């Protein structure tokens, strides 16, 4: 059994971040894209916590705390926007949300 080093956690973080990025690029449902963004934030949080453990430093955990707060605010506003868009367009397919186009 190899020892679990910081690199394993950083690799897991990178894989989760990539899956989130693929979700943002590949899916057309605004809600799924939003969830993928949350997954990317979580992957970054995992890297923060792993490095905080690796370096014996509490500051990384404090950063995670702030990331979570900003994510909560972002989700509240973003979901309100999605509901507003759904009320006007009856769709949350981002390919149909193009009325801002010139």
Residues 13-72 interacting with other proteins (rule: CB under 8 A): 14-23, 25-29, 31-32, 34-36, 38-39, 42, 45-46, 49-50, 52-59, 61-62, 64-66, 68-72
- Run of H or E including 44: helix 30-55
Does position 89 bind other proteins by CB under 8 A? no
Angle at alpha carbon of residue 68, lines to 65 and 73, rounded to 5°: 130
Give min distance, CB of 100 to other proteins, in A. Answer: 17
Both tokens assigned to 18: 């990539």
Give CA–CA dist 56/52, Å, rounded.
6
Minimum distance from CB of 102 to other proteins (Å)?
Answer: 22
């Amino acid at each position: 059994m190899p020892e679990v080093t910081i690199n394993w956690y950083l690799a897991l973080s990178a894989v989760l971040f990539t899956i989130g990025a693929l979700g943002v690029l590949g899916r057309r449902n605004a809600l799924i894209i939003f969830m993928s963004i949350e997954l990317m934030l979580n992957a970054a949080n995992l890297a923060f916590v792993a490095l905080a453990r690796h370096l014996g430093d509490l500051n990384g955990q404090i950063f995670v705390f702030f990331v979570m707060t900003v994510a909560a605010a972002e989700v509240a506003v973003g979901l309100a926007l999605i509901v507003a868009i759904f009320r006007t367009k009856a769709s949350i397919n981002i390919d149909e949300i193009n009325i801002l186009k010139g």
